[in-house]
Structure 1
Amino acid sequence: MKKLILLSLVFLTVFSCGDEVEFNSPAFQGDRENALWRASSFTASIETNGFLTITGSNNYETVNLKVPSVTENTFVVGDVDAIEAQYLDGFGTTYSTNNRPDETVSIYPELGEIIISEIDVVNKTFTGTYRFLAFDEEGLNSIGFTNGIFYKVPLVYGEIPTSPITCADVEIAADDALLAYEATFATSLEFVSSEAYSLACSNYVEALNNQRNYCGDLDGSIQTKIDELGDCTMPCEYASANVMEANSQYVTATIGNYNDKCAQYGFYLQQEIDVCGDEDGSIQAKIDALDCSDDDGDGVPNVFEDFNGNDDFEDDDTDGDGVPNYLDNDDDGDGVLTQYEAVDADGNPIDTDGDGDVDYLDDDDDGDTILTINENADPNGDGNPSDAVDTDGNGVPDYLQA
């Protein structure tokens, strides 16, 4: 323990202390636990994702300095995984700033830094400084470096990008992703799409992770945002709001749009179960009570064919032909199928003669005392009045003109 305390004290000394070193040729060195450590070979490499690693080795030990961007900048190690300093000793043990100390040692690992002070794009070399405290995998042992310097370390693998990703770039991307995410649950929306929400949320989480990697997260605020987003499942409050809006549209539905509004209401009720749960079964009961069917396919939903309102479809038979309306595709028996008489272009019931009986339930649509079936409303007998007789040629068929 005394050794660890001493290491921390050494690590916290001002980075610029000690003798200044001037180099005339490439070099890589630092004070390892107050003793000079010097590399005999050193290289830099750039991965296809743009991450830079500067390596120094003396054949027995190796120091790796990894940063996510090929830019002249200060990168704080011990904060995010994308920025890392490693020390590999001669016995195969790896010490990393990404390893956290055991709580018996310290719960607050010291943060170090890698400073890229100069990138020579012509000669492809890197110059800068470093300091760090790295722990082994168990977090019980540490190695500290101070006064680290690398000078004109040559690039041996990869290419220096012309437009490297910077912290500013990923901050802008995160802001854009936030706007896209917030747009999925804007108050102006009729419904919140769970698919759009989850996708935009996932994209925002990815953008925040990139921001952490390239900018660091010293106060933990970025990680807090990521944690609050969770698995990007749409919140229950949005699912419940969807149900409220769907119910509002369902209860005001007309014959023409009832089936769609009923199915929509059922969809959002099921979504509410998936997102919020249904411990008492009340939501499922609402789903079970829905009847979105049109059993005779006449364009009039079953619930609109219970004319006496007793919830029994079987005792409603307008034309008295023995077939209840919900199973009869010509409810008034006038020879014109209900689907052609039920609603107008706006989905509203049609009552041509204004007698209070809509056409699909009125066997004398124009109220001229001549039954529709006797006014040649469907000469070819297919139930479609498109061929209805129009004696005076005024564009209004006889069966609709008094």
Structure 2
Amino acid sequence: MKKLILLALVCLTISSCGDEVEFSTPAFQGDRENRLWRAEAFSASIDAAGALTITGTNNLETVNLRLPSVVEGTFVVGNVNSIEAEYIDGFGTRYSTNNSPDPSVSIYPELGEIVIEEIDFVNRRFTGTYRFLAFDASGLNSVGYTNGIFFRVPLVSGEFPDNPITCVDVQEDADMARLAYEATFASDLQYIDSSVFSVACNAYINALNVQRNFCGDADGSIQDTIDALGSCQISCDQATANRIEAETQYNASTIGNYAMQCTQFQFYLQEQINFCGDANGSIQAELDALDCNDNDNDGVPNVFEDFNGDGDLNNDDIDGDGIANYLDDDDDGDGVLTASEAVDANGNPIDTDGDGDVNYLDNDDDGDGLFSNFETGDTDGNGIADYLDNDDDGDSTLTINENADPNGDGNPSDAVDSDSNGVPDYLQA
């Protein structure tokens, strides 16, 4: 009996010593299906992208623990490809936490985690724990590890990155990408630019995917956000709001900004078709009816050259020269091209003489009784062309009061020259 007790004490002592060795010398082990599994060889490697792999093998079976970055922390497996626990059996069958379980399989507990507790940069070693449930390609067969430990596993391949990416880093990047994305449809914007929206949305999705890779996505919330972003196109409601705003601005347009507003309205009508569809063709019909052209390139869009408002551009001819206004580059026939007639800072025609007719429709722009085509140059050198200057010679007597056109035909050929010096009074100070 004494011998049996002594033998038991010896065995207990050996067992205790064995446990001490396991936690004081490099090791890689764990309980596989509730039985101790111990690696005979183990190592760590870092690839060019900074990803870490810790491997243990007993020459028949292999366990690989893969992480996206060389940092201390907890990495949840089973939801992103960059964080993986893998078991390969003696027949080469691969079990991975990245293989989805068959819907018929109940999972309890969750797929697991890998914890990097300590990185010894001086001695190039890693210490931590792991547990996981991995499935084969069918999703029906699994292998589970619990109480996994890797202790002072040496780095044998690759180098520690100077600035390893952390979960905090990528979370900050994702937050910045989210703010940039949300700014594309801020409430104070007149329009949502679909191209800018798409670029910002895709950048946000990329940032979220990076966040998943480095932080995991245990509750699936990051993936839910990615899924909700969809194809990164603006919604039909947003496209319709754009169209309404464009139509409002188009309806308020003037000669000076019509071309821009009309083209803009065309653009947003087409976008409404693209993002909402046009089952009855009504949007396309409206688009086809828009005329943004200026056929004679005189700065006056076609729609503003239909003076009688009957929709027929061909029966409007202000100067009676037989050329319809929308094809006539000198609408009033005063010798000054319509494109050269005076406009305000917004590009809208002005009425220099205040007679109710804007200059491009007035053959006497300055109201001095002379047709504009007979007034060339700048006689008094005041920087105002004679056809816009109601005192051509700058003598403080208006041209209309200097007998510039006694017979009233608009032609100054009969202008009075009081001193018979060959210069009519209206051009002589």
Shared fold (TM-score greater than 0.5)?
Answer: yes
Between the aligned partners of 2:235 and 2:32, the Cα distance in structure 1 is 51
**Which residue is 2:386 aligned to?**
398
Is contact 1:299–1:342 with CA below 8 Å preserved after alignment?
A: no
User: Aligned runs of 1:225-304 on 2, under 5 Å?
Assistant: 225-304=225-304
**Aligned-partner Cα distance in 2 for 1:20–1:262:** 83
C-alpha distance in 1, partners of 2:72/2:382? 84
Q: 1:197 to 1:108 in 2, by over 3 A?
A: farther
1:102 aligns with 2:98: no
Alignment partners' CA distance in 1, 2:270 and 2:342: 31
Alpha-carbon deviation of 1:36?
Answer: 1.7
Verify the 8 A CA contact 2:111 2:134 in the aligned structure 1: no
The corresponding residue for 1:358 is 358
- Secondary structure, aligned partner of 1:116: strand
Q: Deviations over 1:172-229 (max 9, x none)?
A: 1111111111111112222211111111111111111122222222222111111100
The alpha-carbon distance between structure 1 residues 108 and 259, as it changes in their structure 2 partners (threshold 3 A), is: farther
1:366–1:239 CA distance, 2 compared to 1 (3 A):
same
**Aligned partner of residue 110 in structure 1, secondary structure:** coil
Q: After TM superposition, what 4+ stretches of structure 1 lie above 3 angstroms from structure 2?
A: 19-24
Q: Name the CA distance, whole Å, in 2 between partners of 1:58 and 1:205.
A: 41
Structure 1 residue 316 displacement after superposition: 0.5
2:115 maps to what in 1?
Answer: 115
Deviations 1:96-144 (A, max 9, x none): 1111221222266732111111111011111111111111110111111
Matched, 1:25 2:13: no
2:156 counterpart SS class: strand
Query: C-alpha displacement at 1:23, in angstroms?
Result: 3.2
Listed as ranges, the matches of 1:215-226 within 5 Å are: 215-226=215-226
Match of 1:313 in 2: 313
The 8 Å contact of residues 46 and 159 in structure 2, kept in 1 or not, is answered as yes
Q: Normalising by the residue count of structure 2, what TM-score does the alignment of the two structures yield?
A: 0.83
Matched residue, 1:11:
none
- Whichever residue aligns with residue 359 of structure 1, its letter is N
Distance 2:249 2:228 in 1: 33
Change (3 A) 1:107 1:328: farther
Structure 2 distance, partners of 1:226, 1:107, is 25
Cα 1:91–1:257 change in 2 (3 A) is same
Return 299-308 or 34-43, whichever deviates more.
Answer: 34-43
Q: Name 2:55's counterpart in structure 1.
A: 55
1:20 Cα deviation from its structure 2 partner: 7.6
Shift of 1:349: 1.5
Cα distance between partner residues in 1 of 2:378 and 2:81: 82
Residue 87 of structure 1: SS of its match in structure 2?
Answer: strand
Give the residue type in structure 2 aligned to 1:375.
E
Residue 208 (structure 1) aligned with residue 196 (structure 2): no
Residue 293 of structure 1, CA deviation:
0.4
Q: Are the aligned partners of 1:125 and 1:155 in contact in 2 as well (CA < 8 Å)? A: yes
Structure 2 CA distance for partners of 1:120 and 1:168, relative to 1, 3 Å: same
Aligned to 2:9: none
Query: Which residue is equivalent to 1:367?
Result: 367
Deviation, structure 1 residue 369? 1.9
Where do 5+ consecutive residues of structure 2 fail to align? 1-18, 391-429
Partner of 2:334: 334
Shift of 1:342: 5.8
Amino acid at match of 1:81: N
Deviation at 1:307, TM superposition (A): 0.4
CA contact (8 A) 1:316 1:325 kept: yes
- Cα distance change on mapping 1:111 and 1:290 into 2, 3 Å: same
The equivalent of 2:84 in structure 1 is: 84
Counterpart of 1:278 in 2: which secondary structure?
coil
Q: Do the aligned partners of residues 55 and 103 (structure 1) sit closer, same or farther apart at CA in structure 2, a change above 3 Å counting?
A: same
| C-alpha distance after superposition, 1:319-371 (max 9, x if no partner) | 11100000000011111000011633322221111111111111111222222
- Aligned residue for 2:226, secondary structure, equals helix
Contact in 1 for aligned 2:67/2:82 (Cα 8 Å): yes
Deviation of 1:284 (Å): 0.8
Q: For the pair shown, which has the larger CA radius of gyration, 1 or 2?
A: 2
Three-state SS of the structure 2 residue aligned to 1:85 is strand
Range with bigger deviation, 108-117 or 40-49: 108-117
Distance 2:125 2:94 in 1: 26
The answer to whether 1:68 aligns with 2:68 is: yes
Superposed CA RMSD in Å reads: 1.6
Change (3 A) 1:275 1:118: same
Distance 2:71 2:373 in 1: 86
Question: In the alignment, which residue of structure 1 is the partner of 2:343?
Answer: 343
Range with bigger deviation, 314-323 or 277-286? 277-286
Identify the residue that residue 379 of structure 1 maps to in structure 2.
Answer: none
User: In the alignment, is the contact (CA less than 8 A) between 1:352 and 1:358 conserved in 2?
Assistant: yes
Separation in 2 of the partners of 1:194 and 1:20?
64
Greater RCO, CA 8 A, separation 6+: 1
